[in-house]
Amino acid sequence: MPTTQSQIVNFQSVAKSFGAVSALAGVDLHVDAGECLGLVGHNGAGKSTLMNVLAGTLSPDTGVMSIHGQDLAEHYNVTVAHDQGIRCVFQEQSLCPNLTVAENARIFHASLKGFGWKKRAGKMIIDKLDEIFPDHGIQDNDVVGDLTIGRRQMVEISRAFTVTDKALDLVILDEPTSSLDVVTATQLLTYVRKAVGEGQSCILISHLLGEILDYSDRILIMKDGAVIAEKLAADFTRDSLVTAMGNVVEEKEIEAHVQFEKVRGETPQVVCALPRTQTNGTEFIAHKGEIVGLAGLASNGQTAMLLQVFEGATKRVPNTKVEAPVAFVAGDRQSDGVFHLWSIGQNIGVRSLKNMIKGWWLIDVAQEVFMADDWKNKIKIKTPDMNDNILSLSGGNQQKALFGRALGSDAEIILMDDPMRGVDVGTKLEVYDLIRAEAEEGRTFLWYTTEMDELFNCDHIYVFCEGKIVSELSRSELTEEKVLQCSFKENA
Amino acid sequence: MSIMIASTKNLIQKPWIWSYLGMIVVWLATITFTKGLGGGAMITAALSFAAFTVIVGIGQMFVISLGPGNVDLSIPANIALSGAVATKIMDSSNDMLLVGFLVAMGCGLAVGIFNYALIRILKIPPIIATLSASFLILSTAIAYGRGLKIKPPTMLAEFATWQIYGIPILAVFVVGLAIVMSVVLHHTFYGRSVLAIGQNMRAAWLAGINVERIRLSTYVLSAMLASLCGLLLSGFSGGASLNMGEEYLLGSIAVVVIGGTSVAGGKANVPGIWGAALFMFLLVTMLNTFGASAGIRLIMTGLIIVAVITLAGGEKQLD
Amino acid sequence: MLNYLTSPKFLRSALPAASLLLLLAAIFYIQPRAMSHFGMNLMLQYAVPIALATIAQMFIITVNDLDLSIGPFVGLTACIGATLLVTDPILGVLALIACIAAYAALGALIYWRNLPSIVVTLGMSFVWLGVAVLVLPTPGGTAPDWVKAIMSFKIPGIPFPIFAAAVIALVVHFALMRSSYGAVLRGAGGNPKAIGRAGWSLLKIKMVMFAAAGFFGVLAGLSLIGLTSAADAHIADRYTLYAIAGVILGGGEFVGGRVSPTGAVLGALTLTLTGSFLIFLKISPDWQIGAQGGVLIIVLALRALINRREASA
């Protein structure tokens, strides 16, 4: 499509690979002045990679990158992007925690120097904060490291909208509301509409489909590194959007897998824990052989609950009773799970090393190899050799290896920290079957998931909000509306 | 033929091969210069002196493998203290040899626990913790060891200096120690735990490893090896002196790095420590033989360390 | 007001000054005669070179590195100052500039290959020592007259070391904590990725900080020979540990770009005084070095207590 006058960005067949892995497979994208483009897709769809290319932090392998009518693919970087009026607020923190708010604003603008720079920078950022987030309560000499996550997010977003000497045409917001509460999220999205009305553009990435539908003009759906659908927001409904995104296990499919519902209390309690900030005495309870779900908006204390149980298994933790050995399946592979220098087999065996000791202290390598091959087959890990480095596996297969590590251990309680993120449907169904089978044998599963439909695998669900349990539901009582209702503070 | 190529390829990929190659190159260079004289004596001396560096190098290797920021700077002070205390207790008597050994090990245990207490309870970074500890340990050694002119027990001195066909018994003992430690590193639960913690401390904790216990054991291991070194050094040098540990601060770290262990943690090997220790000693010998002055020797030693780490590079950022 | 004074944040930043004042009070209690112009001058004599070396280390620590070679480097600059600078001033100045350039090159190398600074500076400590031994094989040399003159400058009412320390702290504070580029430099320690993403050159930042360290290392060496008049290659070996201790005592942290120039200078003063304190306590010089370790541990223990209070608040 040829570039029009008011077009800010026009990508044609932009592609990017990391080694053998293709992250972007020939993407076409255009953004006009005065519009908000919503970008949706599951983890691993390529949204972040595409935005990194647009923001200048990654160089594309091939394709035409036309910005304001010029093809800049050859020498594009962050500085060029800034000069062209394109800014990006990434998911990870781009603030320096050791500097103040004003100093962080200065970092963003090379031209803020000379006598009196601090005052100018401070005024600029506070003015913008006032504009977007009234009553924010932040001061320009606050040290960023001392601010709450929500406030840091507010500073980072406001900073992206500040202008000194170069015009601002396009702001990319990657999951901007993930650390904001309902009030500030609404303030932000309202401001975005206002800015768009004044001619600026915005690309909004969010997994909260409601936000995308309510605040974008046009929606792009990405899957497996390509754009699979592009329509006006008005032409989508929530259901049609979800269907178009694919990769979601339908409730009906799960129902076909679920045999029967457990009656609570038939088996002994294996976990009884009071969340640290719980005020009304509601305890987190799991019985042997149960699959207990942890629900609610992301990062509302579910992982903390899992970790409390994890610690309670080996140490004395107040108000926490854990009656059997536990194992943990990480969701954030890189920081919590994978040992990147080791082989696949070693990664699987690490939780069970104590049980592989023969003689006095030596680890029985034959046993380790046996366990690796056993789980390669059980969980169908796609690899020619279990002695290969773990990073040679795809993300989904790495996740399978982490499952193998936990399920192959002597643990009777398995803690799962949203482990299905970015895993393909086929794998998900296989793992659900495995979990069901193991639960039949008496293993208990504590399952934190951000995918509503996965909760239908669980026998009992606890909904969390701001670190506390606000509601419990049994499988038969479970509906998406009920969970959503409880997840927000006003209704707690 | 293809088997030979395959096994050579395998050998070249081992991280410790370069230290041994370096050692051979340096030895050949020296012999060429002396026209063949003294080659054997050089090897004997190298084995003798390198053995001590290897003992502390092994301990340092385990500590460094725990992950970035972990290093034991208290080794020299510990060597001095253990040497002084053991020598005084043994009082040149062969009957007290076992007691002296146990006392030295006790020093190591105490130092290791003290180091880790600073790290764990006071949350002091290991560099500073072992550094401040070394100040205290050294002062203790100085105060304790004033006027120390006691000779080591004859059995200890003999063990440290005895040679059979030019091979020092001490070196054989330390090779045995190295083999045991290598097995510990790669094939025991403890060794695997160290390597797991070095790669990703949080993942190791979540995988069921008792991270604090393993770290404590490692700092104790390093301290006890340093104490062993102090004991043997006092036998080798005819008595304990307060600065006999000085060269082992940088030396212990250098042989770990040059031997191919990753400073980022999680990847280690023991053979490289022997290769690096021999290489460093023979390098100094070579420079001496060439008539290089003390200044040149120091510069070359330093540049070698910088060159090796530059070639190895740092941990690639996992973006 | 009371709330602020007992808040963890204030306590943490006041700790360096408080430790110093406490130490001074203890010294005066034991030996009141030390409270003279002469006494202070004597006790704090070596504070200036130690403070300069500490500032040098602070620059390195700001960008998340550590310099294990600053001691031998100070020894090298002292040796150059006591020989070349006197016999052939132009060559001497060039040699010192080359030293600073070498430090900048090190910073570039560490950045380019992503090297662990502990190992690189470890190797360089041998190199500095070797060059120093080449320049001055045996102790000797003479300090340039102008250096001696500066170091024996007499100011009525204030002992020179305190005056000099204040000047150093002030200058570095303005350069690093108040200037606009200083914010960028410190930011590189707090979140280097973000600084790079904002378009700043991380390579340039590393080189600037290392060059600054080299510059202050040169000043440390020169000020040292201004006091001792002669030099030798090993004259400042202890300074590596002093410098690290001084930065930490002053509230600096190894990672995160959180440093304090005033704190570092105060830390250096504290360490310098510890020696005198022990002499007055009639503790044998054997325990001097141990006490410095003890002071470091005590201060860090206090900081840990304050942090723990903050975490549970």
Identify the three-state secondary structure at position C35: coil
Mean pLDDT of A353-379: 87
- C100-122: pLDDT as tens digits: 999 999 999 999 999 989 889 98
Closest-CA residue of A relative to B199 is A339
Count the alpha carbons within 13 Å of A232 in the hemisphere toward its beta carbon. Answer: 2
| Stretch 178-207 of chain B: residues touching chain C, C-beta under 8 Å | none
Q: Which of B33-37, C72-76, C83-87 is the most confident on average?
A: C72-76
Supply the pLDDT for residue A491: 41
Supply the pLDDT for residue C108: 96
* Cβ within 8 Å, pair B314-C122: no
Cβ B58 vs Cβ B177: under 8 Å: yes
| Stretch 117-156 of chain B: residues touching chain C, C-beta under 8 Å | 118, 121-125, 127-128, 131-140, 142-143, 146
C59 Cα to chain A: minimum distance (Å): 15
Q: Which tokens go with A318? A: 């107040």
Residue A3 has pLDDT above 70, yes or no: no
Closest-CA residue of A relative to C198 is A108
Confidence class of residue A261 from pLDDT cuts 50, 70 and 90? low
Confidence class of residue A429 from pLDDT cuts 50, 70 and 90? confident
- B266-289: pLDDT as tens digits: 999 999 999 999 999 998 888 888
- A60-111: pLDDT as tens digits: 888 888 888 888 888 888 888 988 899 999 877 889 999 999 999 999 998 8
Nearest-angstrom CA–CA distance, C183 and A103: 6
Contact list in B for residue A363 (CB cut-off 8 A) is: 187-189, 192
Residue C264 has pLDDT above 60, yes or no: yes
Nearest-angstrom CA–CA distance, B261 and B277: 13
Confidence class of residue B319 from pLDDT cuts 50, 70 and 90? very low
Mean pLDDT of chain A: 86
Cβ B149 vs Cβ B239: under 8 Å: yes
* Cβ within 8 Å, pair A354-B207: no
Name the pTM for this structure.
Answer: 0.86
The answer to ipTM > 0.95 is no
Contact list in B for residue C292 (CB cut-off 8 A) is: 135
Nearest-angstrom CA–CA distance, A145 and A301: 21
Interface membership of C299 toward B (CB under 8 Å): no
Q: What percent of chain C has pLDDT over 70?
A: 99
Closest-CA residue of A relative to C201 is A79
Cβ B234 vs Cβ B52: under 8 Å: no
Q: Cα C34–C39–C45 angle (5° rounding)? A: 130
Residues 6+ apart with CB under 8 A from A124: A105, A112, A162, A164
* Cβ within 8 Å, pair A340-B206: no
Task: Select from A79, C128, C66 the least CA-distant residue to B302.
Answer: C128
Closest-CA residue of C relative to A92 is C194
B162 Cα to chain C: minimum distance (Å): 32
Closest-CA residue of B relative to C130 is B295
Q: What percent of chain A has pLDDT over 90?
A: 34
More confident residue, A300 or C194: C194
Confidence class of residue A247 from pLDDT cuts 50, 70 and 90? low
Interface membership of B189 toward A (CB under 8 Å): yes
B314 Cα to chain A: minimum distance (Å): 14
* Cβ within 8 Å, pair A350-B192: yes
Which residue from B69, B121, B254 is facing C122, i.e. has the nearest CB? B254
C291 Cα to chain B: minimum distance (Å): 7
Mean pLDDT of A195-222: 89
- A18-28: pLDDT as tens digits: 776 778 888 99
Confidence class of residue B61 from pLDDT cuts 50, 70 and 90? very high
Residue B15 has pLDDT above 90, yes or no: no
Nearest-angstrom CA–CA distance, C73 and C79: 10
Angle, to 10 degrees, between the axis of helix B154-161 and the axis of helix B211-236?
Answer: 100
Closest-CA residue of B relative to C113 is B313
Least confident of A216-230, A307-321, A391-405, B140-154: B140-154
A16 Cα to chain B: minimum distance (Å): 15
* Cβ within 8 Å, pair B187-A365: yes
Supply the pLDDT for residue A192: 94
Least confident of B207-211, B300-304, C47-51: B300-304
Phi, psi of C44, deg, nearest 5: -100, 15
* Cβ within 8 Å, pair A362-B188: yes
Closest-CA residue of A relative to C197 is A78
Q: What percent of chain A has pLDDT over 70?
A: 93
Which residue from C9, C190, C200 is facing A99, i.e. has the nearest CB? C190
**Dihedral sign of CA atoms A444, A447, A451, A456 in order:** positive
Q: Which tokens go with B39? A: 């080659």
Closest-CA residue of B relative to C136 is B295
DSSP string for A45-100: SSHHHHHHHHHTSS--SEEEEEETTEE-STT--HHHHHHTTEEEE-SS--S-TTSB
- Using left for φ > 0, alpha for ψ between -120 and 50, and beta otherwise, residue A19 falls in left
B165 Cα to chain A: minimum distance (Å): 35
Pick among B74, B119, B132, B311 to test the C interface (most C CBs inside 10 A): B132
Mean pLDDT of A266-274: 87
Contact list in C for residue B295 (CB cut-off 8 A) is: 130-134, 137
Domains of chain B by start residue, with CATH:
16-311 (1.10.3470)
Interface membership of A108 toward C (CB under 8 Å): yes
- A287-324: pLDDT as tens digits: 998 999 998 877 788 999 999 999 999 988 888 999 99
Interface membership of B143 toward A (CB under 8 Å): no
Confidence class of residue B205 from pLDDT cuts 50, 70 and 90? very high
Pick among C76, C118, C303, C306 to test the B interface (most B CBs inside 10 A): C118
Q: Which tokens go with B228? A: 């062993």
Nearest-angstrom CA–CA distance, A181 and A177: 7
Nearest-angstrom CA–CA distance, C296 and C282: 20
Contact list in C for residue B118 (CB cut-off 8 A) is: 297
Mean pLDDT of A467-473: 88
**Owner of token pair 């077009």:** A7
* Cβ within 8 Å, pair C133-B146: no
| Stretch 165-224 of chain C: residues touching chain A, C-beta under 8 Å | 178, 180-181, 183-184, 186-187, 189-191, 193-195, 197-200
* Cβ within 8 Å, pair C186-A99: yes
Least confident of A364-378, B254-268, C27-41: C27-41
In this complex, the chains that touch C, judged by 3 or more CB pairs closer than 8 A, are A, B
Least confident of A386-400, B204-218, B226-240: A386-400
Cβ C108 vs Cβ C203: under 8 Å: yes
Residue B73 has pLDDT above 70, yes or no: yes
Residue contacts between B and C (CB atoms, under 8 Å) = 148
Cβ A212 vs Cβ A232: under 8 Å: no
Supply the pLDDT for residue B152: 84
Closest-CA residue of A relative to C62 is A98
Residues 6+ apart with CB under 8 A from B116: B215, B216, B219, B220
Closest-CA residue of C relative to B247 is C126
Mean pLDDT of B300-316: 81
Interface membership of C255 toward A (CB under 8 Å): no
Closest-CA residue of A relative to B197 is A339
Q: What is the DSSP letter of C231?
A: B
Confidence class of residue A119 from pLDDT cuts 50, 70 and 90? very high
Q: Which of A2-6, B163-167, C194-198, C216-220 is the most confident on average?
A: C216-220
Phi, psi of B163, deg, nearest 5: -135, 140
Which residue from C181, C193, C256 is facing A98, i.e. has the nearest CB? C256
Contact list in A for residue B209 (CB cut-off 8 A) is: 350
Supply the pLDDT for residue A252: 57
In this complex, the chains that touch A, judged by 3 or more CB pairs closer than 8 A, are B, C
Alpha helices in B36-96 (DSSP H): 39-64, 75-90
| Stretch 234-253 of chain B: residues touching chain C, C-beta under 8 Å | 250, 253
Mean pLDDT of B84-113: 90
* Cβ within 8 Å, pair A78-C197: yes
Interface membership of C21 toward A (CB under 8 Å): no
Q: How far apart are the first and last CA of chain C?
A: 18
Mean pLDDT of chain C: 89
Q: Which tokens go with A252? A: 């009906």
Mean pLDDT of B18-41: 84
A54 Cα to chain B: minimum distance (Å): 17
Supply the pLDDT for residue A256: 54
* Cβ within 8 Å, pair A362-B187: yes
Which residue from A57, A82, A96 is facing C190, i.e. has the nearest CB? A96
